[in-house]
Structure 1
Amino acid sequence: MTSAAAYSAPAAPAPRLGWFTRAEAWLDSKGKGAWIAAMVLGFVFFWPVGLALLFYMIWSKKMFGQKCSRRGPLARQSFRAMKSSGNSAFDAYKADTLQRLEEEQDQFEAFLQRLREAKDKAEFDQFMDDRARNASADRSEDTDSRENA
């Protein structure tokens, strides 16, 4: 007998996931907004379903954690990025590049924070200037009305 008989055996079918597991995976792939929409619809159509979804989201940390957004394809890519390729030179290059990108991201976020602070300061300064102008205009109206009286 040859080993060809071993290859002709049909493969075992993949186990079917339950409807709840499929629904959870589908909602996870859509993100946190899909979970919130499902919860709201649950409250609209039958409030115990919405309440159950709310409790499930809190219990599984889907509401306040990053769990559901981390399960998507990006999480698999970032996990793959941390895996060793077997080539030490490439792994060193990859580690340096990832570190450089993280530093650039931190610098960009710091720049955005400074930009927001500058915008807030400019808006506050404009508010204070408008307030001072209005106060001086009110004082000049008061002195005009006293002189006319």
Structure 2
Amino acid sequence: MTPSATITPASGPAGWFSRSEAWLDGKGKGAWIAAMVLGFVFFWPVGLALLFYMIWSKRMFNKSCSRRTSRHSRMHTMHSTGNAAFDSYRDETLRRLEEEQGNFEAFLQRLRDAKDKAEFDEFMGERAKAAAADRDAPKAEA
């Protein structure tokens, strides 16, 4: 077999399916849902097949779109631009932003904890008042 006669994996009948799947993945979950709805509208077995495929491949229940995750993963796998000063600045800025995000998340957690404690203290105060009122009620009736 000559090198020019090799068959690429994306050619043939399965090639269009792989390309379509990659294209829909690039557009996100909304594109998969739109394709499924259009499949139901034009020819219901196609829509049903897409629905089963989305459930089987777990695309239906992913919490995030592939666009968002690919953009996020690109941020952490940035390659050198060739300019050391810019690369250093970018890395320091990303580190600082991640630190600020962590600090902000810790601040939000402290707020949630304080709110929970305040609600619990209020509950316990109301419970103590109700218990005191129950103790005082028999004395008043006697």
Q: Give the whole-Å Cα distance in 1 for the aligned partners of 2:106 and 2:75.
A: 28
Pairwise CA distance, 1:130: 0.5
Corresponding residue for residue 126 of structure 1: 122
Corresponding residue for residue 53 of structure 1: 54
Cα contact 1:84–1:91 (8 A) shared by 2: yes
Unaligned 5+ runs, structure 2: 1-10
User: Which of 75, 87, 94 is residue 70 of structure 2 equivalent to?
Assistant: 75
Pairwise CA distance, 1:80: 5.4
Pairwise CA distance, 1:78: 5.1
Q: Give the whole-Å Cα distance in 2 for the aligned partners of 1:88 and 1:100.
A: 18
1:91 aligns with 2:92: no
Pairwise CA distance, 1:17: 4.7
Structure 2 vs 1, CA of residues 74 and 53 (structure 1 numbering), >3 Å: closer, same or farther? closer
Deviations 1:109-139 (A, max 9, x none): 0000111001000000000001001111111
Give the count of matched residue pairs.
Answer: 115
Q: Give the whole-Å Cα distance in 2 for the aligned partners of 1:104 and 1:98.
A: 10
TM-score (norm 2): 0.61
Identical pairs, percent: 37
Unaligned 5+ runs, structure 1: 1-14
Q: Give the whole-Å Cα distance in 2 for the aligned partners of 1:53 and 1:104.
A: 37
Structure 2 vs 1, CA of residues 143 and 54 (structure 1 numbering), >3 Å: closer, same or farther? farther
Cα contact 2:26–2:67 (8 A) shared by 1: no
The secondary structure found in structure 1 opposite 2:80 is coil
1:104 aligns with 2:100: yes
User: How much is the aligned-residue C-alpha RMSD, in angstroms?
Assistant: 3.6
Q: Give the whole-Å Cα distance in 1 for the aligned partners of 2:115 and 2:92.
A: 34
Cα contact 1:85–1:91 (8 A) shared by 2: yes
